[in-house]
Copies of this chain bind each other. A is one copy, B any other.
Amino acid sequence: MTTSAYLSGTAHDIYEAIRADPIVSPHGHCDPRWFSQNHRFADPAALFVIPDHYLFRMLYSQGIALERLGIGQSAEERDARAIFQLFADHWHLFLGTPSRIWLDHSLRHVFGIDDPLSSASAGAIFDQIETALARPEFRPRALYERFNIEVLATTDAATDDLAAHRAIAQSGWGGRVIPTFRPDAVLNPEHDGFAAGARAMITGHGGDPGRYDDYLAALRARRAGFIALGATASDHAIEAPATHWLDPAGIGAFYARAMKGDLTGPEAQVFYGHMLVEMAQMSLDDGLVMQIHAGSRRNTNAQIYRRFGPDMGADMPLATDWVRGLEPLLNRVGNDPRFTLIAFTLDETSYARELAPMAGHWPCLKIGPPWWFHDSHAGIARYFDQVVETAGYWNLAGFNDDTRAFLSIPARHDVWRQGVALHLAGQVGRGYFAPSDATRIAKELSTGLARHSYRLTV
């Protein structure tokens, strides 16, 4: 979709070999209704600024109130053009950040806009985007096809009815948009609405919320429902990757207290950690690939959270102990060939110290790509530098874009592929392997490992 003028020699050759590969997107946060309804996208502000916490967090850090960016406002309340102008007026703040690279890429390659964004050009660019969005080839399904997406996984609550996914499946459209099972809200006793959600889930499957076995059965049934609509993976977002295995004799009482809202703090975390092991055990039977995204402390700005809710740019990474945290889980299921676990970290110190050694031993474990703040040129370089020598390439899970910014998907995969090319060209230059090895590995990193790790090749 692009060429990158600064890649030369071996890096350029490797990049060219994978540049136009299809996009395999096994983890992300697109809204499935975009593809079931195929409505046009709203205005440029609603498309680029308002839903993108990468963007508005930076503006907020420089003193721009979220209200001025239309956050928390209805479409009627806000002035899309003024928001886009305000954003463009502060575009210099993004110099050196991946957000700027992604947006530049989208403007150029999705909208054909070569004029750099600036205060002066903002109005004209707003108009160009507006005009484009009204055209059928900018509807979600058309863009999905133009982006050459092979598969796109969304992330969906365990209690989601998956209506949009069902509609997509029944629509006859050829796109492969699949759900991902994200049950944290019915696993973590400290989650708002844990008990209500679990109760609804259990009774919805004809069970008795008072019985732990029925809770497990309902979870199994929900997983089956996701699988029926194409899901190949589950996902967990947790602050610390702590797992536990509770005595079967004692788990019932723990569960009862959780359902009464009587399990908090460390005890709640033990229950949650136990449920992660239960989920892993279910994966042995139903084959869902388990993902753990660990190390983000959510909603650390209480004022912003009270006013605007979650995902407002105030989630902060923490140091993470994977070795001790996963030990209980791995010692129950980690040697089982049926199990795949993909781990994502925000603590780069755990790449070389923990995840690479662990992935280089445990048959189940793959290292997810650089996540969130580290999905960037330098973040990708550090990732390869720190994981490959110990884990090799085949213990990596390839790339995923993990985004709700649909238009940035090609840009994110492109940045990754450039990073792959630069890394592998460096390896060739240092004499570690031949260009033919590099091309083989590049193909794996571009698409092969993602397909394989997420069991998407079927």
Q: Which residues of A contact B (CB under 8 A)?
A: 4-6, 57-58, 60-63, 92-98, 100-101, 297, 300-304, 313-319, 321, 323-324, 327, 330-331, 334-335, 337, 346-349, 352-354, 356-363, 365, 373-374, 376-379, 382, 385-386, 388-395, 427, 429-433, 437, 440-441
The answer to whether B361 and A432 touch across the interface, beta carbons within 8 angstroms, is no
Q: Does A389 contact B57, Cβ atoms closer than 8 Å?
A: no
Residues on B with C-beta less than 8 A from A437 are: 92, 95
Report the bound CA distance from A191 to B341 in whole Å: 32
Q: State in angstroms the CA–CA spacing of A392 and B313 once bound together.
A: 15
Q: Of B95, B316, B354, B395, which is within 8 A of A316 by CB?
A: B354
A101 and B432 contact, Cβ closer than 8 Å, known pairs A63-B363, A301-B361, A373-B389: yes
In the complex, chain B residues whose CB is within 8 Å of the CB of A379: 352, 389
Chain B residue numbers with a CB within 8 Å of A96 are 388-389, 392-393, 427, 432-433, 441
Question: What number of copies of this chain does the assembly contain?
Answer: 3
B349 and A301 contacting across the interface, CB-CB below 8 Å: no
- Chain B residues in 8 Å Cβ range of A441: 95-96
Contact partners of A430 in chain B: CB under 8 A: 6, 377
Separation in Å of the A212 CB from the closest CB of chain B? 26
The list of the 3 closest CB pairs from A to B, nearest first, reads A6-B431, A376-B389, A96-B388
Q: How far apart sit A419 and B216, CA to CA, in the bound complex (Å)?
A: 54
Report whether B373 and A303 are in contact in the complex, using a CB–CB cutoff of 8 Å.
no
Complex contact A360–B392 (CB within 8 A):
no
Closest chain B residue to A296 by CB distance? Answer: B357
B297 and A324 contact, CB distance less than 8 A: yes
Chain B contacts of A335 at CB under 8 A? 301, 303-304
- Chain B residue at minimal CB-CB distance from A57: B361
CB < 8 Å neighbour of A360 from B61, B297, B318, B363: B61
Q: Tell me whether B347 and A353 are in contact (CB under 8 A).
A: yes
Q: Are B58 and A360 in contact (CB under 8 A)?
A: yes
Contacts of A58 in B (CB 8 A): 360, 392
* Pairwise interchain contact A361-B297, C-beta atoms closer than 8 A: no
Do residues A361 and B313 form an inter-chain contact, with CB atoms below 8 A? yes
Q: How far is the CA of A379 from the CA of B374 in the complex (A)?
A: 19
Across-interface contacts of A392 in B (CB, < 8 A): 58, 93-97
Chain B neighbourhood of A314, CB < 8 A = 361
Contact pick for A60, options B98, B300, B361, B429, CB 8 Å: B361
Return the contact of A373 from the options B357, B393, B395, B427 (Cβ within 8 A). Answer: B357
Supplied contacts A61-B360, A95-B432, A378-B388, 15 more A-B pairs, CB within 8 Å: A6-B430, A60-B361, A97-B388, A101-B432, A301-B330, A315-B357, A316-B361, A318-B323, A318-B353, A318-B354, A319-B353, A356-B373, A377-B430, A377-B432, A378-B385
Q: Among A63, A96, A313, find the residue whose CB has the most chain B CB atoms closer than 10 A.
A: A96
**Complex Cα gap A348–B319 (Å):** 12
Considering the complex, give the chain B residue whose CB is closest to the CB of A428.
Answer: B6
Complexed CA–CA distance, A20 and B211 (Å)? 72
**B residues within 8 A CB of A313?**
360-361
In the docked arrangement, what's the CA distance between A98 and B356, Å?
14
Q: Hey, which chain B residues are within 8 Å of A93, CB to CB?
A: 392, 394
**Nearest chain B CB to A366's CB is how many angstroms away?**
9
CB distance from A342 to the nearest CB of B (A): 14
- Determine how close the nearest CB of chain B comes to the CB of A167; give it in whole angstroms: 37
Which B-chain residue is minimally distant from A386 (CB atoms)?
Answer: B378
